[in-house]
């Protein structure tokens, strides 16, 4: 099974990543809006420098995903333990650049990702800022990969003279928004930064047509170690959206908790490292229609409303035979045609539907099988299950999913569902769920009460469109 990811809703749901094809294969890929915002620091000449007196007591970061851009608001509380001083306060952006060399001579340079807006206020009053070019971004900082193979040399016909050699050299450099900020002795200073940026996207053209990866945004917390003590006293991060459900936001970096209004992380005395740098991705799901077979050893078939959009009530649930009993519990599901996904914001070019170019999406897909089980002390709790997938002409695939104990608030915020993620070469024809282990409920109850089952496909997870950081 490829990249099997059994996860509970208490854990961060991670997207699949792969490197893009390109060059002489005839497939062209291109990067747009490559950029990463970062925690600010005091500026020397072209790089951030260490500050031993001014402490970053808190940082409150709110990232809002909008339809065509990301809005960021950051509130900082600083305290100066030393004498009064004025610092060049620099907010860094890691901008992408790419040189095109033809036979070793620079032909042109592409630049990526300038923020569309930036504003700083100091204790509630607007402060002026200017743009300064900075040094190259260190290699140890993971930033979005820049690949553009559209100018890669095409092989000539036998006997022809070879064409010019084209080499693409990508890099990142810092671009600072710089303000002169006074930090009085033994006093607090509150700063607020607001900026907006376009999404990072990877665009791919091939003989099959063109497609674009889901929008991505990066924020580098690792530069927060330049203030006194190398720590952020209290860090509070919220990632939310004005256009997407919370479940369609995926984050790498910190262990976020899902809440009603977004993903949230909070910590004290954080020493920021490159592992804490955030990558936020949009993800779009199309719901696949499930049809229930008759579960074996069951007194009755599964009611249709269990396979609907919302979990049914416990009264309308389907109750399994005891797990671990004389016969295995099997829930057999047939996958029908994809229903109208307009409610999910997915158009006719989703997997399984023809695109405007008349072809179907190719490559592996990422799926999310969501199970809602009635909760309560009297009910058994599922901890491990076997999942069997069958396909039209491919060999079946099998994997085990583990369900760790989750915070009831997390389960409630997900609509009562817990998710199993898996990759598959095509949409399965059937899915069979075999519960293997449960935590018994009161009086030794080992039956499970299913209130909802859904299968969804991440239609933004096109084959090899989302690349790993460099």
**Is 285-458 in the same CATH topology as 33-282?**
no
Q: What per-residue confidence (pLDDT) applies to 206?
A: 59
Q: What per-residue confidence (pLDDT) applies to 307?
A: 81
| Domain boundaries 285-458, corresponding CATH code | 2.60.120.260
Backbone angles phi, psi at 426, to 5 degrees: -160, 170
Q: What is the DSSP string of 305-374?
A: GGGSSS---GGGPEEPPPTTSSS---EEEEEEEE---GGGT--TTSTTS--TTS----S-EEEEEEEEE-
Band (pLDDT 50/70/90 cuts) for residue 344 is very low
Tokens of 249: 């936001």
Mean of the per-residue pLDDT values of the chain: 78
Q: What per-residue confidence (pLDDT) applies to 354?
A: 35
Could you tell me the residue ranges of all domains in the chain?
A: 33-282, 285-458
- Among 65-79, 107-121, 173-187, 405-419, the least confident range: 405-419
Band (pLDDT 50/70/90 cuts) for residue 149 is low
Q: 93 vs 350, which has greater pLDDT?
A: 93
pLDDT per residue as tens digits for the range 10-59: 222 222 222 222 222 234 677 888 889 999 999 998 899 999 999 999 99
Question: In whole angstroms, what is the distance from residue 330 CA to residue 124 CA?
Answer: 61
Residue 379 pLDDT more than 90?
A: no
Which residues face 423 on adjacent strands?
Answer: 366
Band (pLDDT 50/70/90 cuts) for residue 338 is very low
Q: 458 vs 267, which has greater pLDDT?
A: 267
Mean pLDDT computed over 184-195: 97
Q: 248 vs 44, which has greater pLDDT?
A: 44
CA angle 460, 35, 59 (to 5 degrees): 100
Residue 330 pLDDT more than 70?
A: yes
Look at residues 278, 212, 261, 191 and name the one whose alpha carbon lies nearest to residue 32.
212
Band (pLDDT 50/70/90 cuts) for residue 157 is very low
pLDDT per residue as tens digits for the range 108-145: 888 888 899 999 999 999 999 999 999 999 888 888 88
Q: 313 vs 142, which has greater pLDDT?
A: 142
Q: Is the dihedral of CA 309, 315, 318, 324 positive or negative?
A: positive
Q: What per-residue confidence (pLDDT) applies to 303?
A: 72
CB contact at 8 A, 262 and 238? yes
Tokens of 399: 């994997």
Residue 297 pLDDT more than 60?
A: no
Tokens of 48: 């951030």
Tokens of 217: 């945004």
Which residues face 282 on adjacent strands?
Answer: 249
Q: What is the DSSP string of 408-440?
A: HHHHHHTTTEEEEEEEESS--SEEEEEEEEEE-
Question: In whole angstroms, what is the distance from residue 386 CA to residue 116 CA?
Answer: 49
- Cβ-proximal residues to 204 (8 Å cutoff; 6+ apart), any chain: 20, 21, 27, 28, 29, 30, 210, 211, 212, 213, 462, 464, 465
Tokens of 469: 């950081």
Q: What is the DSSP string of 137-167?
A: PPTTS--------TTSPPPPPTTSPP---EE
- Among 9-13, 325-329, 417-421, the least confident range: 9-13
Mean pLDDT computed over 415-438: 87
Question: In whole angstroms, what is the distance from residue 88 CA to residue 51 CA?
Answer: 11
pLDDT per residue as tens digits for the range 75-94: 999 999 999 999 999 999 99
CA angle 313, 319, 323 (to 5 degrees): 140
| Domain boundaries 33-282, corresponding CATH code | 2.60.40.3680
CB contact at 8 A, 183 and 78? yes
Residue 152 pLDDT more than 60?
A: no
């Amino acid at each position: 099974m490829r990249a099997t990811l059994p996860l509970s809703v208490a854990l961060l749901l991670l997207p699949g990543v792969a490197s893009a094809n390109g060059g002489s294969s005839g497939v062209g890929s291109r990067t747009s809006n490559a950029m990463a915002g970062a925690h600010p620091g005091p500026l020397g000449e072209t790089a951030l420098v260490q500050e031993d007196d001014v402490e970053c007591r808190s940082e409150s970061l709110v990232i809002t995903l909008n339809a065509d851009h990301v809005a960021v608001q950051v509130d900082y509380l600083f305290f100066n333990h030393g004498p009064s001083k004025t610092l060049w306060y620099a907010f860094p952006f890691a901008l992408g650049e790419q040189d095109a060399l033809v036979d070793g001579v620079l032909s042109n340079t592409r630049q990526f990702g300038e923020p569309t807006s930036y504003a700083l206020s100091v204790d509630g009053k607007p402060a002026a800022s200017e743009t300064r070019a900075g040094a190259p971004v260190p290699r140890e900082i993971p930033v979005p990969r820049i690949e553009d193979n559209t100018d890669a040399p095409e092989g000539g016909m036998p006997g022809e003279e070879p064409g010019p050699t084209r080499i693409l050299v990508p890099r990142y450099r810092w671009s600072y928004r710089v303000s002169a900020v006074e930090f009085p002795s033994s006093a607090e200073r509150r700063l607020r930064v607001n900026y907006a940026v376009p999404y990072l996207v990877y665009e791919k053209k091939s003989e099959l047509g063109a497609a674009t990866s889901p929008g991505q945004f990066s924020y580098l917390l690792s530069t927060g170690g330049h203030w006194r003590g190398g720590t952020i006293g209290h860090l509070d991060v919220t990632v939310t959206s004005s256009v997407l459900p919370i479940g369609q936001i995926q984050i790498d970096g910190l262990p976020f908790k899902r809440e009603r209004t977004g993903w949230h992380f909070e910590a004290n005395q954080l020493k920021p490292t490159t592992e804490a740098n955030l990558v936020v991705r949009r993800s779009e799901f199309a719901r696949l229609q499930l049809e229930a077979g008759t579960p074996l050893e069951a007194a009755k078939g599964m009611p249709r409303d269990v396979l609907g959009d919302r979990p049914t009530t416990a009264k309308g649930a389907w109750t399994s035979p005891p797990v671990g009993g004389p016969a295995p519990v099997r829930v057999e599901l047939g996958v029908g045609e994809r229903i109208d996904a307009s409610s999910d914001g997915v158009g006719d070019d989703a997997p399984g539907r023809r695109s405007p170019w008349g072809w179907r999406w190719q490559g592996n897909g990422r799926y999310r099988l969501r199970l809602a089980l009635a909760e309560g002390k009297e009910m058994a709790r599922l901890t491990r299950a076997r999942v069997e997938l069958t396909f039209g002409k491919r060999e079946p695939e099998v994997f085990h999913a583990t369900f760790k104990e989750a915070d009831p608030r997390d389960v409630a915020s997900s609509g009562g569902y817990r998710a199993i993620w898996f990759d598959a070469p095509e949409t399965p024809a059937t899915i069979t769920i075999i519960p293997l282990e449960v935590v018994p409920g009161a009086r030794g109850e080992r039956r499970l009460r299913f209130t909802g089952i859904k299968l969804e496909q991440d239609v933004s997870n096109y084959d090899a469109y989302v690349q790993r950081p460099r």
